[in-house]
């Protein structure tokens, strides 16, 4: 799960990954892994619809909608911020997106061989992945130093690679490529009914200029709860983390000393924010590529 905040000026957006094993309160179910909010709500809704005799595919649609609503509600309650829009991308979407864009550049610090689980077998260094490789890249967690947290960084790196491709190839100025992306979106993405995608394109275009930073919600440690490995988080800490990033306090300018000149100084021009890799497991960008190296 990734929560993105886009300021009103469309600049310096912030994307925060929420680790799926964070142990949080899920309405009606007590403390659970945050990823369970979707499945538990879907299960409850599906059982209720079965009792009412609601047939498929309507039953499946409505129960999935209940899962999405529960996910949004859980994240809103956890972080104390509103969520205006929602998009759900299935795993096949990574395959189709990488294919539609003719491959995505990624970089690995070390070679990996996870043929038993995700199928990810990649050399170290900068490389272009397409089709099924994209799916393997974002799914791998076995054999990585930080397990699921490293998988989160993989997904951030993949999105960074997509944005880099958008920027370098002028996707928004190419109607053919843009149409291919919209075709992928129709197949693989579910969005809320109030989201005007075409109206959002100018904002999306602005973000591909590099004005986005990726972070991961901090955790306090790991524990075993109800037989499951979970991430322990501190609610005040994560809320402050998010609020400081989404709504930074304005800088306070000290009053001039008595007798000092009151002539206004020239207002510095804002500089374009490049991709911030400090929170991609300390990933560093490959010079000239705009792509971070991750585990």
Compute the average pLDDT of residues 174-200.
84
SS3 265: coil
pLDDT at 206: 66
The CA distance from 47 to 38, in Å, is 14
Please give the mean pLDDT across all residues of the chain. Answer: 85
pLDDT over 70, % of the chain? 85
Q: Where are the domains of the chain?
A: 2-248+273-294
Q: pLDDT tens for residues 265-279?
A: 333 332 222 333 333
On whether the pTM is more than 0.85, the answer is: no
Q: How many residues does the chain have?
A: 295
**DSSP H or E run through 15:** strand 13-17
Residue 196 confidence (pLDDT) above 90:
no
Any idea of the CA torsion for 58, 60, 66, 69, to the nearest 10 degrees? -100
Helix ranges (H only) for 80-229 are 92-100, 132-139, 148-169, 175-188, 197-207
pLDDT over 90, % of the chain? 62
Verify cis geometry, omega within 30 degrees of 0, for the bond prior to 281.
no
pLDDT at 259: 58
Q: Which CATH superfamily is domain 2-248+273-294 in?
A: LCP protein (3.40.630.190)
CB of 252 closer than 8 Å to CB of 57: no
């Amino acid at each position: 799960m990734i929560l993105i905040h886009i300021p009103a000026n469309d600049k310096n957006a912030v994307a925060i990954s929420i680790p799926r094993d964070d142990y949080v309160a899920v309405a009606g179910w007590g403390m659970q892994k945050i990823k369970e909010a979707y499945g538990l709500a879907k299960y409850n809704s599906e059982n209720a619809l079965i009792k009412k005799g609601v047939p498929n595919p309507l039953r499946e649609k409505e129960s999935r909608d209940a899962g999405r609503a529960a996910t949004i509600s859980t994240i809103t309650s956890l972080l104390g911020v509103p969520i205006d829009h929602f998009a759900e991308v299935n795993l096949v979407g990574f395959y189709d997106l990488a294919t539609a864009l003719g491959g995505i550049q990624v970089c690995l610090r070390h070679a990996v061989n996870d043929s038993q689980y995700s199928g990810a077998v990649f050399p170290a260094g900068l490389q272009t992945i397409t089709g099924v490789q994209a799916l393997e890249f974002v799914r791998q967690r076995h054999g990585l130093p930080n397990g699921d947290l490293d998988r989160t960084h993989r997904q951030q790196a993949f999105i960074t690679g997509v944005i880099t491709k958008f920027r370098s190839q002028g996707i928004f100025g190419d109607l053919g490529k843009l149409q291919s992306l919209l075709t992928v979106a129709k197949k693989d993405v579910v969005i809320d009914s109030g989201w005007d995608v075409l109206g959002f394109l100018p904002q999306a275009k602005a973000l591909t200029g590099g004005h986005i930073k990726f972070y991961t919600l901090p955790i306090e440690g790991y524990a075993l709860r109800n037989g499951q490995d979970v991430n322990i988080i501190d609610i005040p800490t994560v809320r402050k983390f998010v609020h400081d990033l989404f709504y930074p306090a304005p800088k306070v300018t000290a009053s001039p000393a008595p007798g000092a000149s009151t002539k206004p100084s020239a207002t510095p021009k804002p500089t374009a924010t490049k991709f911030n890799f400090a929170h991609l497991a300390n990933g560093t960008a490959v010079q000239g590529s705009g792509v971070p190296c991750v585990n």
